[in-house]
Amino acid sequence: MPAKTTSKPAETDVADGIVTVEVVPGGAVSGSIRPPGSKSITNRALLISALADPGPRDSRLNGTLASEDTAVMIESLQRIGASIYSSDGGRRLRVSSLSPRSGSDEPIELDVANSGTTIRFLTAALSALGGDYRLSGVPRMHERPIGDLIDAIAPIIEGSIEAESEGGCPPVRICSSGWSGDSIEVAGTVSSQYLSGLMMAAPLAGHDIEIRVQGELVSRPYVAMTADVMEAFGASVDCEWSDGDEDDRFLISESYQATDYAIEPDASAASYFWAAAAITGGDVKVVGLTSDAVQGDVEFVDILEQMGCTVTDERDGIRVAGRASNGGDFDMNGISDTVQTLSVVAMFAGSPTRIRGVAHNRFKETDRIGDLARECRRLGADVDEHEDGLTIHPLSDETVEAYQSGERTTRVETYDDHRMAMSLALAGLVLPGIRLVNPACTAKTYPHFWADLEVLTGRSHRWTSNP
């Protein structure tokens, strides 16, 4: 088993106690919904817009996500000199190219909270841009490794860069005059965000940059997404994907230009609604996403189809109907943000489900293998934990009957992890008496999740405090 950090369940203390939510069962879930804009695309487009060459026009981003993670990116970019104007409740942003601030003897302090995209993307970009910075966040962020990215940047930076916490974790201290050299090597086994950050920073070098990935690259679809957004803003990205022992290689050239860019709905968020149909035998259409989407997480529906659901790719969305009646064996390396969603679906399938290829999930907002296994067991499932994933065995008939008769209730922890909360909540679509702690943590990427789930199900949740 690889070394890992230890996560502690997080609880929301309010004036009158700890807040929990119980999703109310009520049969098959049917309807249509449009999730908010993609967090992954929004933060990429924000950074690239701010790094565009100064010119007579600003970039205009439509369909952006308004959430804690994107707010952290916006605030950080504003602190280093970008002008960002919001309208339509944060769903439209106008971004002016940044004018770097100078004249201070102290580093610019950036608080990234627990936003992995923000710290990894900014670490690369600011090292290439030049300046004096210190990036820090919540305690959990200071346990999330960033050493492979630091190691990739150190040979090319004109200045210094270091991770201050034990094990190569943030805070990150940067004192830079930019990049020198024309080639970078980065490890690909922990997070694709290291590579994405370097790719987006490369146009700042002023010359062509070649990036080589050492080891197997996790979450390839996110890298393809990065290249797609970069090219929309005028950069050139030549990707050479390896199918064997050779390194993946990326040649980056050209600078960014301001542009208008539309952001599609979040496919990771969509997985919860497709799963609602798969768990209850319903019929749910997610509007705004098709198989042509930039985000790889739309492939989650392919897994549901293999499990017995009917999937229809329509002109304006993807529809999932019917129950996921059987398990399977799935390599989810490319769509690892949907592992928690599938784990809950698997508890209601007719046979075990093996999830593999996601060892890197241990180093996200929480340990999304060990902590996920713990909460699935708390719900009553038998779970085998593996080095690279899990095997989830369906709930027994006796366990389901115990919930439905009121003999069993369960309080589920979320570990302050938005995806843990949104996925585990889905069990409540079938089982009464499941109380989820700290539901507000979904604000990290989906502030209106609970309201949208109520609209889709047509039922109100039960909220309690100090239970």
Residues annotated as catalytic are: 337
- Name the strands in the sheet holding 209-214, side by side, starting at the edge strand that comes first in the sequence: 183-187, 209-214, 248-253, 236-240
Cβ atoms within 10 A of the Cβ of 314, count? 10
Any idea which residue has 């129950």 for tokens?
323
Residue with tokens 């908010």: 36
Q: Which residues pair with 181 in a beta bridge?
A: none
Paired tokens of 141: 């962020």
Give the closest residue to 117 by CA, choosing from 187, 237, 211, 197: 197
Sign of CA dihedral 66, 69, 75, 77: negative
CB of 155 closer than 8 Å to CB of 121: no
- Ranges assigned E (strand) in 12-120: 13-14, 17-22, 30-33, 59-62, 83-87, 92-96, 108-111
The token pair at 33 is: 């919904």
**DSSP-assigned letters across all residues of 277-324:** HHHHT-EEEEET--TT-S-GGGGHHHHHHHTT-EEEEETTEEEEES--
154 vs 122: CA distance, rounded Å: 15
Cis peptide leading into residue 171 (ω within 30°): yes
Contact at 8 Å (CB) between 279 and 307? no
Q: Report the C-alpha gap between 266 and 41 in whole angstroms.
A: 8
Quote the CA–CA distance of 367 and 361 in Å, as a whole number: 6
Instruction: Measure the CA–CA gap between 286 and 452, rounded to whole angstroms.
Output: 12
> Can you tell me the distance from the alpha carbon of 201 to that of 41, in angstroms, rounded to the nearest whole number?
16
Residue 317 contacts residue 285 (beta carbons within 8 Å)? yes
